[in-house]
C-alpha cells in the first residue's frame, strides 16, 4: 500500500508545483520563496539538458520503466518497507516527468540546486530519494544476511 500512496502523492505534488510555476513564473524568471531559489526552465531533453528534442522518447522509456517496476513487484517475494517506498518514489517521479513530456514535449524544472548543479523539479528529487531508499534497503538486507551466518 505504501508503494501506491507514495507514487500517487509524488505525482500530485509534482504536477501541482509545475502547474503553479507555469502559471505564475515566466520562463527564465527567478523568484526567492522561503529560502528557495526558483527559476522556471523548460527542458526538452533529459538530465543536464542532454539530448534536447527527445522528450517524447524519454516518456516512452519512463512508461517502460514503470511497467518493469510493476512486473518486478509482482514477481518479488517479500515486500519490504524501504523497497516499496523507494520504488514508489521512483515510479512517482518517472510518471510525473512522463506526463510533462507527453503533454508538453518538455519537462518543467524550477528548483535551483544549492550546489549550482542544475535546475530540478519535485519528480527529479523523488527519483533521487527512491534511489537512496533502494540502496538503504540493499544495505539492510546485506546486514541481515551477514548476521544470520
- Give me the active site residues, please: 109, 124
Strands 107-112 vs 36-43: parallel, antiparallel or unpaired: antiparallel
Q: Looking at residue 45, what DSSP letter applies?
A: S
The span from the CA of 121 to the CA of 101, in Å, is 13
> Would you say 40 and 100 are in contact if contact means Cβ atoms under 8 Å apart?
no
Largest CA distance in the chain: 59
∠ Cα 101 120 97 (to 5°): 25
Single out the residue of 91, 93, 64, 78 nearest to residue 137, CA to CA.
78
The span from the CA of 143 to the CA of 15, in Å, is 38
Amino acid at each position: 500500500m505504501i508503494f501506491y500512496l507514495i507514487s500517487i502523492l509524488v505525482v500530485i505534488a509534482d504536477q501541482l508545483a509545475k502547474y503553479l510555476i507555469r502559471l505564475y513564473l515566466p520562463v527564465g524568471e527567478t523568484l526567492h520563496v522561503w529560502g528557495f531559489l526558483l527559476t522556471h526552465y523548460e527542458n526538452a531533453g533529459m538530465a543536464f539538458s542532454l539530448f534536447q528534442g527527445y522528450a517524447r522518447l524519454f516518456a516512452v522509456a519512463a512508461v517502460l520503466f514503470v511497467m518493469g517496476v510493476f512486473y518486478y513487484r509482482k514477481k518479488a517475494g517479500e515486500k519490504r518497507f524501504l523497497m516499496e517506498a523507494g520504488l514508489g518514489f521512483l515510479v512517482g517521479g518517472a510518471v510525473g516527468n512522463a506526463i510533462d513530456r507527453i503533454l508538453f514535449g518538455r519537462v518543467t524544472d524550477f528548483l535551483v540546486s544549492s550546489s549550482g548543479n542544475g535546475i530540478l523539479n519535485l519528480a527529479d528529487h523523488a527519483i533521487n530519494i527512491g534511489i537512496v531508499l533502494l540502496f538503504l534497503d540493499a544495505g539492510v538486507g546485506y546486514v541481515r544476511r551477514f548476521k544470520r551466518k
